[in-house]
Structure 1
Amino acid sequence: MSLTLPEVLTLLQRRGQNQYGMEAINQLEHALQCADLAEKAGETPETVVASLLHDLGHLLAAERDGSKEHTTEHDDLHQYIALPFIRNLFPDAVLEPIRMHVDAKRYLCLIDPGYWADLSPASKHSLEQQGGVFSEAEAEAFISQPFATEAVRLRRYDDLAKVPAKVVPDLSHYNAHLQQVALTA
């Protein structure tokens, strides 16, 4: 079942109020902070939208399971869950960074010696559930994919988007980006 843009926004508003894993913010705050970082970095509208929606799979999993939040006991494969629901709504320039943002963390742990040390405890915990640090061969295969560099930048915004009470634009601010990149209204 594909979602419409209004349904995506409703999901973000409704389920986004749930706690963001073991972080001190909720899902919507995290999404908005991530999109704000991407926008301030001068990213394309597609990367800003990918940053806003990168954890939509957590919200869909919670919706499906009827839970208040996603669990940290196992990897819910959230990077894949949202794709069938938004595939007809957004281009690959939005979908692929979403799909690859978890692998981007695995990649960064290998290529950036200080990256792992800067991860939050929750991100370190989920990294182990998501397969751990990439090998050299895995990293090489990852970064050679289209949109991998965008996924790496999204990942860095993701890691920084966990600041309690940070003031950022609200969801309506991103309507223009969403409308601009959506394949259908």
Structure 2
Amino acid sequence: MDLSYGFPPVASGEARLLILGSMPGQASLQAAQYYAHPRNAFWRIMGDLLGAGPELPYPQRLVRLQAAGIALWDVIAACERGGSLDADIVGASVRANDFSVFLAVHRSIEQIFFNGAAAEASFRRHVLPGLAERPLALHRLPSTSPAHAARSYADKLAAWSVIVAK
């Protein structure tokens, strides 16, 4: 199995919060876009909260996120994974992104929101122990993945609305 590589961060210098996924799935990697799977609720939620919905061209969605002070990235820079599920990630293959450098450049980020439990667990395991002392508020949100069908869209939207209240 070959390593899959994620995307660079999407962030402006004014970013105040960071949304982290674990690692892009196959649909996203093929499209070279964050959250490209048509059944992933991320862009629908961003549309309802920020006007950055899937009806807009991808570059415009990213501009809207950045204008709202939101940065977007993944915890994992590279890993082996047999499919698109987080459960398919080979733990020993995980290479985390360099958050020390990212957070040093984006000093106004004080809050990190995780798109699901896997992103949070990966960050706490592979990133947090190596970060210099810096006050960061960490919040787990329900995964927008179509594999996480335990919560309704309305429940996910309500939980994610915290990003516009911060």
- Asked whether the two chains share a fold, i.e. TM above 0.5, the reply is no
The TM-score normalised by the length of structure 2 is 0.33
Q: Compare the two structures and name the one with the higher helix fraction.
A: 1
The TM-score normalised by the length of structure 1 is 0.30
Q: Compare the two structures and name the one with the higher strand fraction.
A: 2
